[in-house]
Structure 1
Amino acid sequence: MLAAYRSMSAEQAKAYGKADAKGTQLEKYATLDALGQIRNDLARMRAAGTVVRGGIGHDPKVTALDTTAKTPTLTDCVDLSSYETYDTKAKEVIPLPMEQPLRYVMTVSAEKWPNGWMVTAINPQGGPIC
């Protein structure tokens, strides 16, 4: 399940780097709900004329697992120290809000499907600092 999340995150980074999911394999790792969240982000990015440059650091861990339902919860220490939003029209970096911590805990849900683990939900609302 960690491998599926890491693969989804890598595909998500590719999509955010161009504000477009074309050419990625997001559907292989994310269910419709999680994929919908990413597609909404991409639509907002396209409308704003922004892309993401740099990377987001990840340190995911399984924090809860219901073996009967097969729905684990992951926590990920997200590191934004190399992340930047770039305005493609103005040709400049948009700084992160001052209140945005550079490292925070994010929760992710996954589910066992016939072909492997799939990410079902991403909660990008930052939790505690990590």
Structure 2
Amino acid sequence: MARLDQLGWNSSRAVPAFLLTVCVVLTAACTSSGGKDNEKDNAATPTATAVPSKSASMDPAEAAKAEAISAYQSYWTELPKAYAVPAMEGTELQRYTSAEALAKAQAGVANLKALGQIMTGAPVLTNPTVTGAELDKKTPNVTISACLDVLPWKLIQKDTGQPAPLPSTRATKYVVIALVERWEDGWKVLKSTPHGDQPC
């Protein structure tokens, strides 16, 4: 049986630490995978609150915030695709992430692969809201708070297709807070932190 810390999960909160991003809690057996690593299971696109479209009449600051939220939503669209294989290839995660967020996504893929597991379905992200912004800095950034429901995101043993065991006390719907920066090639999620002690 794998320890939670081996999987990058915060065992005290039963929330995945490799989530910058992720979000269910893993405690599955280390069973070897019987499937191919490049095999894709269809992952549903996470539901997200609509972001106002950028228009000529939109205030530049509000437009920047909307773009940052859109990038964060795209991050939650791409992450389930990677965990459904598991592999980074075939996703646009590197377009929307960098730094800690990218490293944790890569670690999550590696952990799932090592345990012979995949994740099916997708989390539901709602009410993404900019709670802080530093748009005048050399590298503009915003802080985004949202509610993440990971109950629809299932951890599966790849060789058997059976659900992997999870702690009964795990948090399944909680606040996530992200740091997003605007780079030359667009907004990137640098960090996405789950707060399992803050239900939403």
TM-score, normalized by the shorter chain, greater than 0.5: yes
Deviates more, 1:72-81 or 1:34-43: 72-81
Aligned position for 1:62: 130
Superimposed CA distance per residue, residues 7-57 of structure 1 (whole angstroms, 9 cap, x where no aligned partner): 111111110111111111111111133111100011000001111111100
8 Å CA contact 1:2–1:61 kept in 2: the answer is: yes
Aligned position for 1:119: 189
Point out 4+ residue stretches in structure 1 off by more than 3 angstroms.
none
CA–CA separation in structure 2 for the residues paired with 1:124 and 1:15: 19
SS of residue paired to 1:96: coil
Unpaired segments of 5 or more residues in structure 2? 1-67
8 Å CA contact 2:134–2:142 kept in 1: the answer is: yes
8 Å CA contact 2:96–2:188 kept in 1: the answer is: yes
Tell me which structure has the larger Cα radius of gyration.
Answer: 2
CA–CA separation in structure 2 for the residues paired with 1:125 and 1:77: 10
TM-score by length of 1: 0.91
TM-score by length of 2: 0.61
- Give the structure with the higher percent helix: 1
Paired positions, count: 130
CA–CA separation in structure 1 for the residues paired with 2:97 and 2:123: 18
Unpaired segments of 5 or more residues in structure 1? none
Superimposed CA distance per residue, residues 66-122 of structure 1 (whole angstroms, 9 cap, x where no aligned partner): 233322111121102211100112321024321112210011110011222111112
Aligned position for 2:151: 81
| 2:112 corresponds to 1:42 | no
Aligned position for 1:99: 169
8 Å CA contact 1:84–1:96 kept in 2: the answer is: no
